[in-house]
C-alpha cells in the first residue's frame, strides 16, 4: 500500500491465448502487482489493513463508490490496457471469476502491500506477496487445463506476455522501517542483492510455467511520495530512498538481461520508468499540475494521514494534484504517466495501430457534503 511510484508497481500481462474451441487467438491481460494495480483483491482479504474500501477511494470511477483501487479513478494498468485495446481483467479473488472470464479478460492478482519478499508489508496482516500471486497463477493454469486441455493451455500460456512490477513496498514497508528485521539484517547493497536473488527465483518459476515474453517495470522516485517528504526534516524528497530505487532498477535491468540469455526461448525485458515519473514530480506545472508534494485526500494539517477516509478533506481540484493520498498518484497523474510510458516503450493497440492518448473519465472538483456510503468489502 504505497505509491510504488512509477509503476513498480503494476504488472500488465498481455496474453495471446486461443479461445475455448481452439479457433482464434485472443489478447487479454494478467496483472501482477501491488496497490498501484490492485483492483479489488484486498477487499476480499477481510483481515488486511491495506484497504481502499472506504470513500473517497473510487470517487472518479464508475458510480463513484470504492472499488478496491488505491486512487480516485483509474490505475496506470487500466489506462494502458484501455488504450491498447485490452479488456480490464477482474481481481483473482472476485467471487464472479470463472474459467470463461479468465479466457476472455485475463486475471489481476495485484495486492496492496504486497512485495517481492514474503515478509514485506507484514503489519498489514493480509496481503498477497509476489510468491503468493505466482502460486495463484499456477492455480489459474490448472483451472484452464481443466477447461480446455493441456495442449491448448500450454499454447495459451506460452504465447503470453508477462510484465512484473513490484519492489517499492520492499523498501517503504520493509527495509526502511526499523520494525522489520530486514532493516538491521542488511545494508543497502546486501538488501538489493537479497531482492535480486528472490526475484530471479520468481522469474525462473514463471518461465517454468510457460512465461516466455516478460517485462519487469522498475521503480520511480519513491523518496518523493508525500509520506516520505512529510517524514523528512525539510519536506523535500528523501534522496537516500531515491538512490535505492535507482540501484534497484540497475540491478533489475542486469538480472533481466542475464535471464533472457540463459532461459530457453525467453525474451525478458526491463521497463525503466524512473525518469518519466521523476519529471512529472519535479516539473508539475509543465504537465498542468499545481501540487506534487502533498495528497489531495488528507486530514488537513494532520500529516501523515496514512489512508483516505470519509472524514478526510479533499482538494478543490483533483486534476491539479499529482498524488491522491500519501502513497498513490491521482487519476490525472496516472493518465499522464500511462501516456508517457505508451510513448516511451512504443506500446501499440492490439490491432497494430498506435495507442491514442487517454482522456479524463470523470469530474475532478471537490464533492458537495454527502453522507458517506457504507464501507465495501
Which of the residues are catalytic?
Answer: 35, 325, 328
What residues pair up with 269 in beta bridges, in sequence order? Answer: 215
Q: Nearest 5°: CA angle at 157, between 153 and 159?
A: 115
Contact at 8 Å (CB) between 165 and 157?
no
Closest CA to 9 of 38, 43, 30: 38
B/e letters for 201-217, b = 16+ CB within 10 Å, e = fewer, are ebbebbbebbbbbbbbb
Helices 188-208 and 239-262: crossing angle, nearest 10°?
A: 40
DSSP labels for 175-217? Answer: ITSTTSTHHHH--HHHHHHHHHHHHHHHHHHHHHTT--EEEEE
User: Coil, strand or helix: which one is 17?
Assistant: strand
Instruction: Give all strands (DSSP E) within the chain, no chain letters.
Output: 14-18, 25-31, 106-108, 160-164, 213-217, 267-271, 291-295, 297-298, 313-314, 321-323
List phi, psi (to 5°) of 249: -65, -40
Separation CA 270–CA 252 (nearest Å): 7
The DSSP string of 80-131 is HHHHTTPPPPPBTT-TT--HHHHHHHEEE---TT--SSTTTTGGGS----HH
Please say whether the beta carbons of 254 and 240 come within 8 A.
no
Give yes or no for a contact between 217 and 165, defined as CB atoms under 8 angstroms apart. Answer: yes
With beta carbons less than 8 A apart as the criterion, state whether 51 and 59 touch: no
Q: In the chain, what is the straight-line distance between the N-terminal and C-terminal CA atoms, in Å?
A: 16
Nearest CA among 159, 212, 163, 211 for reference residue 25: 159
Amino acid at each position: 500500500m504505497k505509491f510504488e511510484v512509477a509503476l513498480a508497481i503494476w504488472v500488465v500481462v498481455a496474453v495471446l491465448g486461443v479461445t475455448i474451441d481452439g479457433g482464434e487467438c485472443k489478447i487479454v491481460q494478467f496483472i501482477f502487482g501491488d496497490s498501484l494495480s490492485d483492483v479489488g483483491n484486498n477487499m476480499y482479504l477481510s483481515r488486511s489493513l491495506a484497504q481502499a474500501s472506504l470513500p473517497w477511494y473510487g470517487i472518479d470511477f464508475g458510480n463513484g463508490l470504492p472499488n478496491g483501487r488505491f486512487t480516485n479513478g483509474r490505475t496506470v494498468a487500466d489506462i494502458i490496457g484501455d488504450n491498447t485495446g485490452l479488456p480490464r481483467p477482474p481481481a483473482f479473488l472476485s467471487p464472479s471469476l470463472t474459467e470463461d472470464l479468465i479466457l476472455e479478460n485475463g486475471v489481476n492478482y495485484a495486492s496492496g502491500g504486497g512485495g517481492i519478499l514474503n515478509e514485506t508489508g507484514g503489519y498489514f496482516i493480509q496481503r498477497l506477496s509476489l510468491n503468493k500471486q505466482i502460486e495463484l497463477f499456477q492455480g489459474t493454469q490448472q483451472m484452464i487445463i481443466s477447461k480446455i486441455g493441456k495442449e491448448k493451455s500450454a499454447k495459451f500460456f506460452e504465447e503470453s506476455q508477462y510484465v512484473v512490477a513490484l519492489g517499492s513496498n520492499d523498501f517503504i514497508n520493509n527495509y526502511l522501517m526499523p520494525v522489520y528485521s530486514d532493516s538491521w539484517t542488511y545494508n543497502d547493497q546486501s538488501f538489493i542483492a537479497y531482492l535480486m536473488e528472490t526475484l530471479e527465483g520468481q522469474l525462473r518459476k514463471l518461465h517454468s510455467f510457460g512465461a516466455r515474453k516478460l517485462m519487469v517495470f522498475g521503480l520511480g522516485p519513491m523518496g518523493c511520495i508525500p509520506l516520505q517528504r512529510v517524514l523528512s526534516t525539510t519536506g523535500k524528497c528523501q534522496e537516500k530512498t531515491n538512490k535505492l530505487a535507482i540501484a534497484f532498477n540497475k540491478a533489475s535491468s542486469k538480472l533481466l538481461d542475464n535471464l533472457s540469455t540463459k532461459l530457453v526461448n525467453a525474451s525478458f525485458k526491463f521497463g525503466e520508468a524512473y525518469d518519466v515519473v521523476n519529471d512529472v514530480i519535479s516539473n508539475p506545472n509543465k504537465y498542468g499540475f499545481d501540487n506534487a508534494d502533498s495528497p489531495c485526500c488528507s486530514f488537513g494539517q494532520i500529516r501523515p494521514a496514512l489512508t483516505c477516509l470519509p472524514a478526510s478533506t479533499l482538494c478543490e481540484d483533483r486534476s491539479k494534484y499529482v498524488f491522491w493520498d500519501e502513497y498513490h498518484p491521482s487519476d490525472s497523474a496516472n493518465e499522464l504517466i500511462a501516456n508517457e510510458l505508451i510513448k516511451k516503450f512504443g506500446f501499440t493497440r492490439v490491432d497494430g495501430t498506435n495507442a491514442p492518448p487517454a482522456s479524463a473519465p470523470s469530474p475532478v472538483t471537490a464533492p458537495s457534503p454527502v453522507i458517506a456510503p457504507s464501507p465495501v468489502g
